[in-house]
Chains A and B, each alone.
Chain A
């Protein structure tokens, strides 16, 4: 019995060595050199009726634009979402330059499609919208690639103000 156990152990080692797995675990190593914006803050100003979205990003190499996304759900992608291109300072090749703090202001009426569900559900005279922002990369490695998202921030919006 002892010999049989030794035999089986040796057999197990040999087979595990010979029939080794032919796959490697996945990695995100190809996505090096891209960063997410941080310090995202979204605030609603009653007068004038606008939402001010600001964020910071220190490493803006190969960033050509930012994409601000808005959702009506705290589970961001399960809600109705809408994307906006931010207008930032760019050089002649379209690369974002010399900015570490960005501000993106737009009229809250633009968010009507995103808030349709909230209106139907009659949430009252206010609602919460959720914002995030991503850098848009374009270089030899990334072709119009939307980078990692910033940490989501929410803004309380008074519906009466823009009806």
Chain B
């Protein structure tokens, strides 16, 4: 045997075979019916050297285009401080399993505890879990959690201003889980309070799910929502980006019972959509209905402060089909990423990131309107993302911008175009984008 990840020599293998009383490796599969032993050559590449593997990935990279990103829609191009990959690539974190053996996993357990603290602080809620797969699945889990907590009711109201990917995942989970989703339309870019009240008045509602900042980039005004929701004995769930929660009204302040969302904004690269970082936070009354791993503080037998996975009685390995969820992992390393990010930024850094994104987005917004090539759609406060009606057909506009190296003007389901600015976008880049828009306008609108 001669392969770099297999440490045993031919002699080692012979010695081990002798010890188990087998003549050959084949004999170890004597319990497998012979017909199931695959005899053919696999149609996969022949073993490569590291240099050849690098070349393969270089060739993939050449088939991608590097673009300047002016699109959000659920994935945000924020700056990642140098410290983050340095910490998250430490093998002690990277190559560990779920912290079942708490005595030799205090590193993982402590950063998860810090992550839970950050998510609880940012959302304003009493507690948070150790993270979920991504924002969309965290929304599905939050909805299932609310339905389970409300016993017999299986109707959930979902705002149309949530991201389309989130709504599709919700629809899928709900269909199999037996949850009846009812859509709440928006009124001028904000979830309609009227429509919400009407839907609530039909009764039998387990939960209501609305975004904090919606898919138009608008900061939702949720005045009166939680009162109406709680009056109907339903749970209020707010889908949030924790970065935005440094400046906008927190879910707790809006009266939420459960918070879910996507935390990719906290130091995680775009990376073609994953791995990202979902999360759930909730009020203490709902703690034991919360899905996912949870870390708690305790003491060891010598009285030293120590951390441990706790409340495992909710989980699949104990409760099997009666568990609160089938999830048996978390996105631990991404939770570490977000934790280190928040530790570096502090509140003032998170607010600065929001300020720079907000300022840049509002600058782009007015520059685009000045071109005369767009109409304003909604007149509502937005954070770092906005939609406009384009006089240039959206597909033509985004294509023209693409040819200039910009990924921008994503088309929404209504046919609006969406733009997003983060702190990474400079004034030069924004002015360049506006020039590209103007030049597209000259070609298209004669």
- Verify that A and B bind, or say they do not: no
